[in-house]
Structure 1
Amino acid sequence: MASVQLELTDKQYKKLVEAVFLGTWMVNSTKMELDEEFEEVRELVLSKYKEAGLQDLISHQEQLGIHDLDIDFESQLLDTYVEEYDEFSFWDKLVEKLADKEMVQRFGAPQGKMTDEMMEKRMEIEEQIGEKLEETGVTELTFKGKE
């Protein structure tokens, strides 16, 4: 099997650690069992922490045989990147789902591939919904449950 060597500055290595942690977290956060291939790469990257002088951010858990991020560093990464991503993707998905609902109400259930005209209409609807949500947030959204 071929091998790949990388030369990184300490700063680049720290960014790689952040990227690997965030990527592995995203892949595994919704699973009952860890994706071992991602975990293997994570472990390989984190194992080089001493070479980059990151003993204050990464440690080796000898009893478990793994490397782990300092809890404060991990929390900082989650707060900085994941919360912002979650907030953005929430609004993006909300607009998408509301546009889906509006398209079905106006034009019925989709029948095959959307035409250019339908795509244009959908984009207009998404833009209108996005603008409305920017103005009001969720305060004007309603749910009509079964009575």
Structure 2
Amino acid sequence: MKINFTKKQMKDLLTLVEAGNWVINSFRDEPIEQYEDLYNYILNAAHQMNMPEVVYDKESDQAYLTHDAEEEIHEFISEYDDYTFWDELALNLAKRDYANEMNVRNDTREEAFLRIIEFEEKYAEEFYKNGLKNLVIKSKK
């Protein structure tokens, strides 16, 4: 199959592929090859289209995003990380709090779910108002 992209579509595809590969592989010691290979395939295709966002290194025989293109894409990733950080923090703390009281409760799945949501909403409201200002870590010595 052959797909034709305009330069605008290819630029958007580069954004999606960089963001996707970052989410999947950036934290791994060994990247998942199938995604890394597809990422490199798209970068090479963009290079062949003479996309200004991509540079080619003859020595490594590899195409790379320019620093500016990578920075622009990673702004999206940073926005996503900032947004999800608060949700994940609130949810994880809510699950922790529910687990701490679970021994004294005999909830159905629905009741447990609703209780976790209560905790989560409490944390979400706190974080919305105060960020991390009131978050304290108690050390057990």
Shift in Å, 1:84: 0.9
User: Equivalent residue of 2:138, what SS?
Assistant: coil
Match in the other structure for 2:93: 98
Letter in 2 for 1:107: M
Cα RMSD of the aligned pairs, angstroms, is 2.2
Match in the other structure for 2:122: 128
Match in the other structure for 1:58: 54
Percent of aligned pairs with the same residue?
A: 25
Q: Which runs of 5+ in 2 are unaligned?
A: none
Match in the other structure for 2:38: 41
Aligned pair partner of 1:138 in 120, 126, 132: 132
Shift in Å, 1:71: 0.9
Shift in Å, 1:108: 2.7
User: Equivalent residue of 1:48, what SS?
Assistant: helix
User: Equivalent residue of 1:60, what SS?
Assistant: strand
C-alpha change, 1:131 and 1:63, in structure 2 (3 Å) is same
TM-score, normalised to structure 2, is: 0.88
TM-score, normalised to structure 1, is: 0.84
Match in the other structure for 2:102: 107
Shift in Å, 1:16: 0.7
- Cα distance in 1 for residues equivalent to 2:56 and 2:35: 18
2:64 paired with 1:68: yes
What number of residue pairs does the alignment pair up?
A: 141
- Cα distance in 1 for residues equivalent to 2:49 and 2:119: 50
**8 Å CA contact retained: 1:46, 1:68:** yes
Shift in Å, 1:109: 8.8
